[in-house]
Structure 1
Amino acid sequence: MTLENLISIPELCSHYQMEMSFFTNLKEVGLVEIKTVETISYIDSACIYEIEKMIHIHQDLDVNIEGIDVVLNLLEKIEALNNEVTSLKNRLRLYES
Structure 2
Amino acid sequence: MMKENLIPAIEFCTRHQVEFAFINSLHEFGLIEIIEVQQTAFLNPEELPKLEQIVLFNKELEINLEGVEVIIRLLERVNQIQNEMNILRNRLRLYESL
Q: Fold-level match, TM-score > 0.5?
A: yes
Contact 1:35 1:42 (C-alpha < 8 Å) held by counterparts: yes
Residue 70 of structure 1 corresponds to: 70
What is the letter of the counterpart of residue 43 of structure 2? I
Contact 1:6 1:43 (C-alpha < 8 Å) held by counterparts: yes
What is the letter of the counterpart of residue 24 of structure 1? N
What is the letter of the counterpart of residue 46 of structure 1? E
TM-score, length basis structure 2: 0.78
TM-score, length basis structure 1: 0.79
Residue 44 of structure 2 corresponds to: 44
Amino-acid identity (%) = 32
What is the letter of the counterpart of residue 28 of structure 2? E
Q: How many residue pairs end up in the alignment?
A: 97
CA apart distance, 1:35:
1.1
**Mean Cα displacement is larger for which, 13-22 or 67-76?**
67-76
For structure 2, which runs of at least 5 residues remain unmatched after alignment? none
RMSD: 2.5
What is the letter of the counterpart of residue 51 of structure 1? L
CA apart distance, 1:78:
2.9
